[in-house]
Amino acid sequence: MSIRKALSIVSRVLAPNKPYHVQWMVTRKCNYRCRGCNVWREQDNKELTTEEIKHGLDVLRKLGVVEVLISGGNPLLREDIGEIIEYASRYFFTTVYDNGSLAAEKIDALRHANFVAISIDSLNPDKNDCIRGVKGAWKRAMEAVERLYMEGINVSVTPTISQANLHEIIDFTKYFLDKGIPVWYSLYSYDPPDDTNSLFKIGKEEDAFLIRDREAMVKVCDSLLEMKRKNDNVLITTKVLEAVKHLYLNNRRIWKCRALQNFFVINHRGEVAGCHLHEPVASIFELPNLWESERFETLRKKYGACEGCAYLCYIFYSIHGSVAGNIEIVRDKWRNVRFFLKRR
């Protein structure tokens, strides 16, 4: 990361009333058939052009956004993904998701990313492939992680914690930490099946993934808290782990959703919502005129009262809201700054 970019990011971190994080789902195209996902079931080939995405990134910079997560679908299926990542990485801390199928083939495109997250859900190849819906998915993902690491690209593995892998998450984490690979978590959740107006359908209800063993989930949180004290490569903050533990221990949320305040989501068409579960409220290109509008303030109150999901990314950026929260993220999530620099 250049000094100019670092200083620019710091100035945005310290700016009040600005969105910190944006997840941009740049495509609905996907080459996997994950059992707990809706994306591949509802394809849509219409998506923004390269120049439109660059224009949108310029808008995000003016808004004061610090971190952009590029996802999909599988964003690496876009032929212009290298150009998109390079442009985004000039101004933002840029993370790119891949299901593990294409990263090894897109090394040059990924060199500009600050972080690449590879989805792996189990150390058992057959189990992982069953979850992913594609034979050989585990092998390709493991090879991608090794290749990226050897190429000096900052890579992490991202398991989605569910009932299907709950009892192996700690061993899974230890395995990758021992190899020097950070672990960044998702939590299985699903979208209401009757919601046809949402920005971007993702999670599909799957009984095998619904976390029923609450006691085991609490123990996972306790174990990760202990591991985090010893290893910064456990990439989930203490506050988030404590909030998730409280949720499963007491069936009560201790956070308020900060969608359209500290974070928001953009879909492949450039439509914006506080999160993917809600209907589109604007185009990315309209945001500069709407961000401080009365309409958006009303929407923030609506989102703030929502208790309809347990998507871990939304929990994370809700808990770490405001300038103080941004500083907490930098201190906790990015504490080991040398990791991001030494891999370059």
Q: Domain residues of the chain, as ranges? A: 3-342
Q: 33-81, pLDDT tens digit by residue? A: 998 888 877 778 899 999 999 999 999 999 999 999 999 899 999 999 9
Per CATH, the homologous superfamily of domain 3-342 is Aldolase class I (3.20.20.70)
Q: Minimal CA–CA distance to 284: which of 298, 293, 297, 272?
A: 272
Q: 235-254, pLDDT tens digit by residue? A: 999 999 999 999 999 988 88
Handedness of CA 272, 321, 299, 59 (dihedral sign): negative
Q: Minimal CA–CA distance to 334: which of 207, 159, 156, 166?
A: 156
CA–CA distance, 236 with 239 (Å, rounded to integer): 9
Is the pLDDT reported for residue 332 higher than 60? no
Tokens of 40: 């591949």
Any idea how long the chain is?
Answer: 344
Q: 97-143, pLDDT tens digit by residue? A: 999 999 999 999 999 999 999 999 999 999 999 999 999 999 999 99
Residue-wise over 286-299: b if at least 16 C-beta within 10 A, else e? ebeebbeeeebeeb
Beta-carbon-side half-sphere exposure of residue 172 (alpha carbons within 13 Å)? 25
Q: Minimal CA–CA distance to 96: which of 110, 116, 111?
A: 116
Q: Taking the complete model, does pTM exceed 0.85, yes or no?
A: yes
